[in-house]
Chain A
Amino acid sequence: MKKMMCLLALAGLTASAAHAQKSAAVQAIEEYRAMLADGNPAELFEAKGEDLWKQKRGPKNASLQQCDLGQGPGVTKGAFVTLPRYFADTDKVQDLESRLLSCMENLQGFDAAEIAKTPFGKGEQNNVTALATWIAAESRDMTFNLPQVHAKEQIAYEVGKRLFFQRGGAHDFSCASCHGAENLRIRMQDLPNLTKNPGDGIGFAAWPAYRVSNGQMWGMQLRLNDCYRQQRFPYPGFASDATVALGVYLGVNSHGSKSIAPALKR
């Protein structure tokens, strides 16, 4: 019996040592990120986005300065932390990127469907990402406060929740497989639990972000579509109702959390 107790104690010791080791590794990664954050290349995309917002472009040769992101035409400050939300003119719940597409179509005369079909990182898609980066940066350090007043906003939340838990694809994965519990990780990457509020600057509150590993700027749409890719599930598509609904679910869950976007990712 005594021997057994001893063994148990030993087991407890190694477990806590392993835990301490892990947090040291996590600390080292955080230190590395802090070093990189000083020169976050997302700033380059912010500058580009700000320029694009004011530039006269498209078939109608107009700027986006009359674009209504939910706070009135042309108001960019604080818009990001209330998106996705319902817009009366399009009669749809839209997130930042799908709303930008509407503005680019209505104000500048671009073909929104054409841009949505363009692969990520090509042509006008790059401009949408840069615009999203700048508008997100305009709300840096503000807290998420998505409206859940309109019936369509409430429906989008419920749809997003179901999509989050819906399993499918070759591996029978759902979003919740990776983001539905505490202390999960993929290799060294900690995975936030997105079924509740993950805290300031985590999950929904960290995108758009610059990915150091591939040198790309990613908006929330690309992030969500990439989650589906990792699930071995077909892309729902850029600015699709499915990705917007997921955005509503994640955004409402993040209520009260601070946005650090545009962030820096591994």
Chain B
Amino acid sequence: MTTARQEVLQRIRAALLTAVLPMPAEPALMAAPVGDTEDLVDVFRREAEAVGAVVHGPVSPSEAAACITRVLRAAGARRLLTWNPAEMGVAGLAEDLEREGFETLDPRLPVDPANRAKALLQLGEAEVGLTGASAGLADTGTLVLRSGPGRPRLACLLPPVHVALLPARLILPSLADFLSGAAQAAMDHANLVLISGPSRTGDIELTLMRGMHGPREVHIILLADSEP
């Protein structure tokens, strides 16, 4: 008996013998955007704000922890769904969060269904999700997050407020710059998510509203490499 797989592939091969797939001539190379000498951080800030994110900093390493706790407090955080502080590139962050009295939830979901469901319900209680970012895209004000050990996917999705820490040196010009080198990153991580502003919908009479499923607020704290 032929399997569905064999049959579908056979059908495709047979179809390709007669397929008419019109194709235009290769167009001339696209002109690169000219005169774009604007600082990537400035572009990133402008575009991220245009899609509704709040951008803080860049803050120097010595100011970072204070800025983070200030943003967390302002967002009404008590319980945090957070990446492992070691994944966020801010020295002493774990101690600061503890000293400030934030409760950090264990983001690891058990594999067995019953305990997984229980853990999920608890994670749903967090007021704020705190994550790092592996890149920023200036042209669209986008954050790039990679899943992995210590980097739960749900931290940027479940809580109503998402606070992301982005080292300013990781800002790339555009989506194309990210995708041209993304093959290995895609294979190495079960999930890459690109986030441009807070969750939104236009499904009721095309009225634009924030906070449909993901967070209604996204704060991006830009981290500078060194003291000014």
Q: Does A pair with B?
A: no
By a beta-carbon cutoff of 8 Å, the part of chain A in contact with chain B is none
By a beta-carbon cutoff of 8 Å, the part of chain B in contact with chain A is none
